[in-house]
A and B are shown apart, each in its own frame.
Chain A
Amino acid sequence: MPEAPSPASLSTPDLTADRQSWLAILARADAATIAARLDGPLPEFARLRGPETGLVMIRGRQGGDGAAFNLGETTVTRCSVRLAEGGVGHAWRLGRDARAAELSAVLDAALQDPARRPALMRAVIAPLAAAQAEAVAQQARRAAATRVKFFTMAAMR
């Protein structure tokens, strides 16, 4: 039987998509890059778990689109924190950057607070997202510059 929603979750809008978005952005920034974007002190927090490094088994698909298989492991660092003012944050990221995992977990908790969210989105998440999007776009432009164009060869005759 599904559990009845708690009064808190009834009043809190579902942040799943927002959290997926900022956690993905934070996972791609190292500790120094995240810290450089913070323009004020982070809220007080206590560690609930970690930061700790372990392994995740990366799975692929047979033939690219079939049943799953185990490709190999990767290092992953995760952290969970509780803010002194309330609110719990989690972070998982590839690699072993413990400081970045902790900063990300604190930011995940703080970003869930509607009072803190707009300023943090503006100062931290949006600029990181823009830099990451530009890096992806630049790689796509570099790849495009190596595109073999058989039709232009025909036109050059």
Chain B
Amino acid sequence: MYVSVKGGEQAISNAHAWLAEARRGDAALPELSVEQVEQQLTLAVDRVMAEGACADRGLAALAVKQSRGDLIEAAFLLRAYRTTLPRFGGSLPLDTGAMRLQRRISATYKDLPGGQLLGPTFDYTHRLLEFSLAAAGEAPPPAPEMEPEEPGPPPRVTALLAQEGLMAAEPEGDDDTPPPDLTRDPLSCPASRALRLQVLARGDEGFLLGLGYSTQRGYGNNHPFVGEVRMGEASVEVVPPELGFAIDIGDITLTECQMVNQFKGSLTEPPQFTRGYGLVFGHNERKAMAMALVDRALRGAELGEDGGAPAQDEEFVLYHCDNVEATGFVEHLKLPHHVDFQSELENVRAMRAAQQ
């Protein structure tokens, strides 16, 4: 039983004053602006939007500044803020096939329609610290440009495989029925794939990365290949009731991963490839890939595969991947448990006395 405590207002207020000063750091240095965080710590902002489950770069950048760069704390701040806003409705499902691409790579095909576009990537950098960044310098020259050889968005790799009948089709849904929503109804298992994907999309990157890695090391291996990773902008469309037709309300940057996995077939299905799917706000390939690995692992039961690995255990994965929830329960242990512990202490003393 938890017994609450009161008091300590002055101490708490003083602690928060110190926190504010510590956040500011050396006052002789210029203060970091929210715009600087948004523009120059873009991937931290992207991660906070994904795990805070709210796409708003300005709010996420403010949260990063306020949390002193603690990205889980920042996600928590964003989740708390979103509860103050009304829900206007849901968007039409995104058409990620029409994304305006910054980056698009495939590990399964060398030459594919639309080509391999590296985009702004850390891949192939040498991971040597660039000491030139430690000194304020000129802005870098603009990135080179070339006329695209093919106009428009390239076809999906999964569609290329589907043309040959080698890619299992995704079950089509009824777009008029809203998918299950974790923010409205608490999670319960067994969960539909739609609900699992929502949980994974906001799940902790590190937790999903570890689970995805575990599947590669043999804990529920499912032979993954990166069919395609895409990063770019997709249009968000809604149908406002006052208009009665769909309108495009702006672009959102997304990272999508189609993980292609072998499936040896079943009584009703021929041998073919199946998909693990990852979709994340912002530019975050590691998260999209880990999400796709875990999505595919969680489909094991449906595809008749041997289960038992941690990444295949739906309850284990879904109930433990949310870092805001996990932080709440782990960190509550540091709150005063004085009365709790007093009773434990008396118990142990009584047992000790009875034994002697």
- Could you tell me which A residues sit within 8 Å of B by CB distance? 16, 19-20, 23-24, 27-28, 52-76, 78, 80, 90, 92-96, 136, 138-151
Q: Tell me which of A20, A61, A78 has the highest count of chain B C-beta atoms within 10 A of its own C-beta.
A: A61
Cβ–Cβ contact B145 & A141, under 8 A: yes
Q: A27-B250, A56-B91, A67-B173 are in contact. List 9 more A-B contacts (CB 8 A).
A: A57-B90, A58-B90, A68-B93, A71-B279, A90-B243, A92-B88, A92-B240, A138-B145, A141-B147
Which residues on the B side are within 8 Å of A151 (C-beta)? 111
Known contacts A23-B248, A68-B93; decide if A60 and B88 are in contact (CB<8 Å). Answer: no
* Contact residue among A57, A96, A142 (Cβ-Cβ distance under 8 Å from B145): A142
Which residues on the A side are within 8 Å of B275 (C-beta)? 63
Cβ–Cβ contact B148 & A55, under 8 A: no
- Could you tell me which B residues sit within 8 Å of A by CB distance? 49-50, 53-56, 58-59, 82, 85-94, 96-97, 100-104, 110-111, 115-119, 143-149, 156, 158-159, 169-175, 178-183, 193-195, 197-198, 201-202, 235-236, 238, 240, 242-243, 245-252, 256, 258, 275, 277, 279, 281
Q: How far is the CB of A142 from chain B (nearest CB, A)?
A: 5
Known contacts A54-B88, A57-B89, A63-B277; decide if A72 and B118 are in contact (CB<8 Å). Answer: no
Cα of A54 to Cα of B88 in the assembled complex, Å: 6
Which residues on the B side are within 8 Å of A57 (C-beta)? 87, 89-91, 181, 183
User: Across the two chains, which residue of chain B brings its CB closest to A132?
Assistant: B251
* Contact residue among B54, B111, B173 (Cβ-Cβ distance under 8 Å from A55): B54
Q: How far is the CB of A94 from chain B (nearest CB, A)?
A: 4
Which residues on the A side are within 8 Å of B97 (C-beta)? 64-65
Cβ–Cβ contact A61 & B86, under 8 A: no
Cβ–Cβ contact A148 & B115, under 8 A: yes
A-B contact pairs, 26 of them (CB 8 A): A27-B248, A55-B86, A57-B87, A60-B93, A61-B94, A61-B173, A63-B170, A63-B258, A69-B194, A69-B195, A70-B90, A70-B183, A72-B53, A72-B55, A73-B54, A90-B242, A92-B88, A93-B250, A96-B59, A140-B101, A143-B101, A143-B119, A144-B147, A144-B149, A145-B145, A147-B118
Which residues on the A side are within 8 Å of B87 (C-beta)? 54-57, 73
Which residues on the B side are within 8 Å of A78 (C-beta)? 88, 240
Known contacts A59-B91, A59-B92; decide if A70 and B158 are in contact (CB<8 Å). Answer: no
